[in-house]
Chain A
């Protein structure tokens, strides 16, 4: 124990300034004793849950629920990075931060990623430097809910799954009180520092929460064991603040006002042609909840929100800047809301509601080229007053009889899109980009049945059909390398919606002495799958340096994917425990065109049958073992993650195979007392040089962006 305290002290001594260290130690050991008496008198009321039922309560589908405690047990520098630890959830890394989640090979708008049960964000960056998960800090999250497949329809159109990042809400107190928590974390390798603090309090009627954080990371170095150590331009700075004010109007009526600001500065993306210069996100929302209104009406929930993103990126840190300077400036505003009513009639539960989303996006790219002491300026719009509106009606139903539970959902969406674009690309009587208006009515539905075989075991079978309309990027983007490859992409305003028809079989075993085991198989048949096709240079030429050509989105007839997820979690009552998870997805596109090139020239085109879907993660498994010491206050944890080669790769997309790897991590959580906790450990202990299959390649090269090498980390958390 002394050795551990000493080593922790040495670590902090090396990473924190001496004064700060002394302050922190003083804070941990002395302050809490002075507050103990006061804390004993605290009566903390239940959290005000302004949300409908948790989606993980639906047992017939594959879902994951991550609590705040679990998040705190891990060193989470990026929400997207953490999500990769969940079975069949992967991420696309383009730089040091903002890893973009992928669920069962579905990504971007194929996933419905929301904040706090319904706040939607239209990322500003066309290259997805700022996916939704980049607009919330891990320290502000209360829990994360992930539901795979097109089954949960109440949060908006759901195609491949829902990721619900629920932020922490303030709670009322019996009498007025104020509390606070602070966190300081440090990571070696990229000399990353993060601080976060929250002050919260209130009384029975009014309660509040004010918080904020700052992260400053340098460039990271990949592992060096294979002699491949490379330092990547991956530095980033981010800061955020959040303010929430809650009112309990009546005991069963609650109102919550929230304001978030999330800001990124000089966020480097070696896999993209530009870096994020600034990103300013403002989210304002209002939630109203009423519960137990009558024996029939159990609750009414209303949410309205507005998210506003101003995103500026440039190539000022790139070698080609002296010759061609590029700046892109995008503004994206998402305004919307949802309302639903929950009803209970005997054994029948019904949830019905409506939602609306209004997305506006506008952005331009400015290119400046200097030659012969003259300057040529090229201003082109990426989006021009682009607008997507989506209005939906939804209902979910749940009942049970005998040993069966039935769940069903239905959703209808009216989707309309338009743009101020004046671009016309018509060649040989083919409209590549012309009519910008489109509107669709989409129907989605799901049904699931769960048979409880005995008190340990149940089996679920679920069918789902989820349709989503094309997004802003797929409809209107103009010439940026936003895909897996380095081609510029052109939107297609006349794209049709794509539909995922999925069947899931889930076996679930839960026994208090053995633990929790689940096994899920899924099969998807996706109609009108949206992918991209290369356009002739006689039609259009790329605008991004390094892009060899232009691809345009189009609907291919169909694709299929299938796979499984397995999970085992030991009972928490034993000192020795752990978990095992494994997942695999296999995707096929029945027919696709491959372009044969010679140098940079396209010389022929061939049809490939049964090609692999690109960007599908390989088979992987993670073993997690822990042992509880000191009554569970000191918990060492060892994690082994093994990932297989990915050899089922797309020929048409020239997708290279990825070698497998195995990494070992160690973490130690020490709860010093009820006020302070230290989390420390090492990731990638053996300093392996490896990259995930979904990591993007360094722009302009065929070199993959490797994951960080060995990292020592420590976090100290104090709650008062």
Chain B
């Protein structure tokens, strides 16, 4: 009996020794994290937007007013100088902004952001093709951005609605809407003559968007949409030429898309 006990004690000792090979495994160090808030603001000609007032003149010389502004941005990405990047998609990857809905103006980002210095911020204006699916949003306010299936489906990238004074000085409504474009056979705009769709979303790289994230702190960054820029550089957008509705006019949406690269800027970082 005593031999059995000694044998068992020895076995137990060997098992314990063999389990510990003498090397201490250093636990993986948790990375320090901070948070980010994005604030969206809307300017015209360098001043905060005033809606419902025929007080603006675009580069083509059209007097105009703005009633509504709604748009999506997606795949917001923070870039570090070492090439690493952090996409804001832990909870959501598409953010909707509507000037009349305060909760959309501020995006308290869910993601934990690794601490450090970031060189720049980029995002997609609109929604990339693989994510832009019809019936993706079934609730207000995003659901009203739906883009008809016949015109390519998915959702509007942006709606700017307002009025302009035409050549007769009469008020006309405009819907400066960007989304998936269509290519039509011939000159007739007809659903049956659509032979291809054009993805008009584009990537925006925000100038002067360097910032740092400290541990357990929240950095707030203001992103400004300079609305007048939709109508200039490189193309002057003339309402009198394109009319009030451009959803089915790909050349007009292409002009808006090309004007859009410099629409956004950084306000404050604090």
Chain A bound to chain B: yes
Instruction: Check if A538 sits within 8 Å of B139, measured CB to CB.
Output: no
Instruction: Check if B138 sits within 8 Å of A542, measured CB to CB.
Output: yes
Instruction: Decide: A543 near B138, CB < 8 A? Known: A598-B103, A601-B103, A603-B110.
Output: yes
Instruction: Check if B149 sits within 8 Å of A324, measured CB to CB.
Output: no
Minimum CB–CB distance for A111 against chain B, Å: 32
CB-CB < 8 A to B103: which residues of A? 598-601
The CA of A468 and the CA of B182, in the complex, are separated in Å by: 53
Tell whether B134 is near chain A: CB-to-CB under 8 Å.
Answer: yes
Instruction: Check if B138 sits within 8 Å of A544, measured CB to CB.
Output: yes
Instruction: Check if B134 sits within 8 Å of A538, measured CB to CB.
Output: no
> CB within 8 A of A324: which of B89, B108, B138?
B138
Tell whether A548 is near chain B: CB-to-CB under 8 Å.
Answer: yes
> CB within 8 A of A374: which of B90, B137, B148?
B148
CB-CB < 8 A to A372: which residues of B? 148
CB-CB < 8 A to A546: which residues of B? 139
Instruction: Decide: A541 near B136, CB < 8 A? Known: A376-B149, A536-B92, A598-B103.
Output: yes
Instruction: Decide: A541 near B137, CB < 8 A? Known: A372-B148, A602-B91.
Output: yes
Tell whether B63 is near chain A: CB-to-CB under 8 Å.
Answer: no
Number of interface residues of A (CB under 8 A): 28
Minimum CB–CB distance for A702 against chain B, Å: 16
Instruction: Check if B138 sits within 8 Å of A547, measured CB to CB.
Output: yes
Instruction: Decide: A378 near B91, CB < 8 A? Known: A372-B148, A547-B139.
Output: no
Tell whether A545 is near chain B: CB-to-CB under 8 Å.
Answer: yes
Instruction: Check if A378 sits within 8 Å of B135, measured CB to CB.
Output: yes
> CB within 8 A of B153: which of A376, A542, A605?
A376
Tell whether B216 is near chain A: CB-to-CB under 8 Å.
Answer: no
CB-CB < 8 A to B55: which residues of A? none
Minimum CB–CB distance for B66 against chain A, Å: 22
Instruction: Check if B110 sits within 8 Å of A542, measured CB to CB.
Output: no
Tell whether A85 is near chain B: CB-to-CB under 8 Å.
Answer: no
User: Could you give, for residues 292-326 of chain A, a 1 whenever the CB lies within 8 Å of some chain B CB and a 0 otherwise?
Assistant: 00000000000000000000000000000000100
The CA of A542 and the CA of B139, in the complex, are separated in Å by: 9
Tell whether A19 is near chain B: CB-to-CB under 8 Å.
Answer: no
Of all chain A residues, the one with the shortest Cβ separation from B75 is: A538
CB-CB < 8 A to B146: which residues of A? 369, 371, 376
Minimum CB–CB distance for A314 against chain B, Å: 15
The CA of A309 and the CA of B123, in the complex, are separated in Å by: 49
8 Å CB interface, A366-381 against B:
367, 369, 371-372, 374, 376-378
Of all chain B residues, the one with the shortest Cβ separation from A488 is: B138
Instruction: Check if B138 sits within 8 Å of A376, measured CB to CB.
Output: no
CB-CB < 8 A to A369: which residues of B? 134-135, 146
User: Could you give, for residues 86-99 of chain A, a 1 whenever the CB lies within 8 Å of some chain B CB and a 0 otherwise?
Assistant: 00000000000000
Tell whether A537 is near chain B: CB-to-CB under 8 Å.
Answer: yes
Counting chain B CB atoms within 10 Å of each CB, the highest count among A372, A374, A544, A546 belongs to A372
Of all chain A residues, the one with the shortest Cβ separation from B247 is: A372
CB-CB < 8 A to B138: which residues of A? 324, 367, 541-545, 547
User: Could you give, for residues 658-693 of chain A, a 1 whenever the CB lies within 8 Å of some chain B CB and a 0 otherwise?
Assistant: 000000000000000000000000000000000000
User: Could you give, for residues 82-102 of chain B, a 1 whenever the CB lies within 8 Å of some chain A CB and a 0 otherwise?
Assistant: 000000011111100000000
Tell whether A70 is near chain B: CB-to-CB under 8 Å.
Answer: no
Tell whether A604 is near chain B: CB-to-CB under 8 Å.
Answer: yes
User: Could you give, for residues 136-154 of chain B, a 1 whenever the CB lies within 8 Å of some chain A CB and a 0 otherwise?
Assistant: 1111000100101111010
CB-CB < 8 A to B108: which residues of A? 598, 601, 603
> CB within 8 A of A376: which of B91, B139, B148, B191?
B148
Counting chain B CB atoms within 10 Å of each CB, the highest count among A371, A542, A544, A600 belongs to A600
Minimum CB–CB distance for A309 against chain B, Å: 27
The CA of A605 and the CA of B108, in the complex, are separated in Å by: 13
The CA of A321 and the CA of B89, in the complex, are separated in Å by: 33
User: Could you give, for residues 597-640 of chain A, a 1 whenever the CB lies within 8 Å of some chain B CB and a 0 otherwise?
Assistant: 01111111100000000000000000000000000000000000
Instruction: Check if A536 sits within 8 Å of B90, measured CB to CB.
Output: yes
Tell whether B43 is near chain A: CB-to-CB under 8 Å.
Answer: no
Tell whether B261 is near chain A: CB-to-CB under 8 Å.
Answer: no
User: Could you give, for residues 521-545 of chain A, a 1 whenever the CB lies within 8 Å of some chain B CB and a 0 otherwise?
Assistant: 0000000000000001110011111
Tell whether B107 is near chain A: CB-to-CB under 8 Å.
Answer: yes
Minimum CB–CB distance for B49 against chain A, Å: 22
The CA of A377 and the CA of B94, in the complex, are separated in Å by: 23
CB-CB < 8 A to B92: which residues of A? 536-538, 602
> CB within 8 A of A538: which of B93, B135, B191?
B93
> Can you give 14 A-B contacts (C-beta < 8 A)?
A367-B138, A374-B149, A376-B135, A376-B148, A376-B149, A377-B149, A378-B134, A537-B94, A538-B89, A538-B92, A541-B137, A545-B138, A548-B139, A603-B110
A538-B91, A603-B110 known, 17 other contacts, Cβ within 8 Å: A324-B138, A367-B135, A367-B138, A374-B148, A374-B151, A376-B135, A376-B148, A537-B91, A537-B94, A538-B89, A538-B90, A538-B92, A542-B138, A543-B138, A600-B139, A601-B103, A605-B110
Residues of B within 8 A of A (CB): 89-94, 103, 107-110, 134-139, 143, 146, 148-151, 153, 191
The 4 residue pairs across chains A and B that have the minimum distance between CB atoms = A599-B103, A538-B93, A537-B92, A376-B149
